[in-house]
Amino acid sequence: MSTICNGDRGIILGFSVRKYHMTFREIKYFSFPGELLMRMLQMLVLPLIVSSLVTGMAALDSKASGKMGIRAVVYYMTTTVIAVFIGIIIVIIIHPGKGSKEKMHREGKIEQVTAADAFMDLIRNMFPPNMVEACFKQFKTNYEKKQFRVPIPENESLLSSVANNVSEAMETLTKFREEIVPVAGSVNGVNALGLVVFSMCFGLVIGNMKEQGKALKDFFDSLNEAIMRLVAVIMWYAPIGILFLIAGKIAEMEDMGVVGGQLGMYTITVIVGLLIHAIFVLPLLYFLVTRKNPWVFIGGLIQALITALGTSSSSATLPITFKCLEENNGVDKRVTRFVLPVGATINMDGTALYEALAAIFIAQVNNYDLNFGQIITISITATAASIGAAGIPQAGLVTMVIVLTSVGLPTEDITLIIAVDWFLDRLRTTTNVLGDSLGAGIVEHLSRHELKRGDAEMGNSVIEENEMKKPYQLISQENEAEKPLDSETKM
């Protein structure tokens, strides 16, 4: 509850301090408590993704994990396609791009990238050659200008009428051609996709090793439990951090006037689309599958949703999301450990909706009429590009270049919407976290028979083991063996 109150207080505080016109340095000092929260959460993301996926996959047999994986992927694809469809319908109905783009303010520069290279980078990052490097770097294609020597073709009719020495000279003549070529590069940040793929495979192997893999399984179980206890400690500080994260970002805004006019209509359009998806579509889908009240489930996620709004990162929110689902909503740990890390990496409903909507908005401000085929192209590329958008702040701006390139729209026009992207990024991140969480509830409901069968085969589930496990052995095993005899004597 304090997290919710401090989110509101952060908005009030942010607008209150704007009148003091703080310098950039002063804003940095003011936002420092919020920065600390971001760093604490990001510190836990890497060990949490690895430990949760390894333990989750190891606790399931290959058949059960396969079924659960198929259900999760079907859910991800269904909600993402629906989100893209909503974005396209809303932007066509409201038509926020009516007018001239010359009146709009441009901000920043966008790096150019081809769709083919972006998708190849996505596949490359799934298979990192160095697991240590994957903890802090991602592969990214860069571009360089190179000159190539191209020989001038011989003109046979001309050469027939000149001397041999002239012919030899002509053969040595060359011209230079300049070409932009892709080269291997990297960018700082956790390669979450590569870690997810490796951890899933590693967990499956450990699970199939039975007794031989028990030591490794116990290690990752303990690591996951230790990380979740650290999350519980950080949650005491979360309300303060969120207060200053939100207040600092509002204080940092240079011009509140940018939300007027076309950009204001664009902002409203995105908000309407996200609200329809988050308030109507996702809860309805949860209700249709589980026949349970979705608002009770969402009520247990409030702290995770407020944290997503403050941090603008689904990866940074992951530790809080785990705690909310497992403790507040009672979702099986075997499901959360498998579904949440994968969902935070590839399930980006809010980002997909935003990319499709923004692409059509840019077409509208350029008075460019899109045909049905181009709209379908935008739908497909927005769905695919959202998978490549890592769960980090404003990654959607980079992947949106792919969507614009697919239909020949000017990529430099992304600078028209950067001014409000910091705010919209928070809303779509909140939508992403909500979609991941409801997905975990749906997958658990659909997988309940496999989970029960696994409990019966193992004697007791991973959840029961963790709950009954004592941190210290205070009583000897001999005394424990005598307890039934004592109780029988008393009877």
DSSP string covering 81-140, please? HHHHHHHHHHHHHH-TT-S-GGGSPP-S------HHHHHHHHHHHHS-S-TTGGGTEEEE
Closest CA to 435 of 328, 293, 325: 325
| 363-421 pLDDT, tens digit each | 888 888 888 888 888 888 888 877 766 544 456 666 777 788 778 888 778 877 877 88
- pLDDT in the model for residue 72: 92
Q: 186 forms bridges with which residues in the sheet?
A: 139
| 33-65 pLDDT, tens digit each | 989 988 888 888 889 888 888 888 887 777 777
Residues 246-252, mean pLDDT to the nearest whole number: 83
Whole-angstrom distance, CA of residue 57 vs CA of residue 443:
15
Whole-angstrom distance, CA of residue 459 vs CA of residue 69:
24
Q: Say whether pLDDT at 440 is over 80.
A: yes
Region label for 381, one of left (φ > 0), alpha (ψ between -120 and 50) or beta (otherwise): alpha
| 165-178 pLDDT, tens digit each | 555 555 555 566 77
386 touches 80 (CB < 8 A): yes
Distance of CA 432 to the CA centre of its chain: 7
Please count the other Cβ atoms lying within 10 Å of the Cβ belonging to residue 168: 10
Closest CA to 309 of 292, 300, 321: 321
pTM over 0.95: no
Alpha-helical (H) ranges within 312-417 are 314-323, 333-346, 349-365, 372-388, 395-406
Residues 126-155, mean pLDDT to the nearest whole number: 78
pLDDT band at 490 (very low <50, low <70, confident <90, very high): very low
| 94-125 pLDDT, tens digit each | 988 776 555 555 554 555 667 677 778 878 88
Closest CA to 357 of 295, 305, 431: 431
- pLDDT in the model for residue 373: 85
Distance of CA 259 to the CA centre of its chain: 26
* List of residues 6+ apart from 273 with CB closer than 8 A: 86, 87, 90, 91, 353, 354, 357
302 touches 4 (CB < 8 A): yes
310 touches 245 (CB < 8 A): yes
Homologous superfamily in CATH for domain 2-136+189-466 = Sodium:dicarboxylate symporter (1.10.3860.10)
CA distance readout (Å), 415 to 37, 108, 229, 400, 421:
29, 6, 42, 12, 10
Buried b / exposed e across 84-101, counting CB within 10 Å, b at 16+? bbbbbebbeebebbeeeb
AA letter at 428 = R
Domain ranges of the chain: 2-136+189-466, 141-185
What 3-state class would DSSP assign to 184? Answer: strand
Whole-angstrom distance, CA of residue 424 vs CA of residue 272:
11
- pLDDT in the model for residue 281: 96
Please count the other Cβ atoms lying within 10 Å of the Cβ belonging to residue 39: 11
Whole-angstrom distance, CA of residue 305 vs CA of residue 231:
16
| 307-363 pLDDT, tens digit each | 999 888 888 899 999 999 999 999 998 899 889 988 888 888 998 999 899 999 988
Among 281-285, 297-301, 482-486, which is the least confidently predicted range? 482-486
AA letter at 142 = N
Whole-angstrom distance, CA of residue 402 vs CA of residue 396:
10
Sign of CA dihedral 167, 172, 177, 179: positive
Whole-angstrom distance, CA of residue 231 vs CA of residue 250:
27
Whole-angstrom distance, CA of residue 27 vs CA of residue 248:
6
AA letter at 338 = F
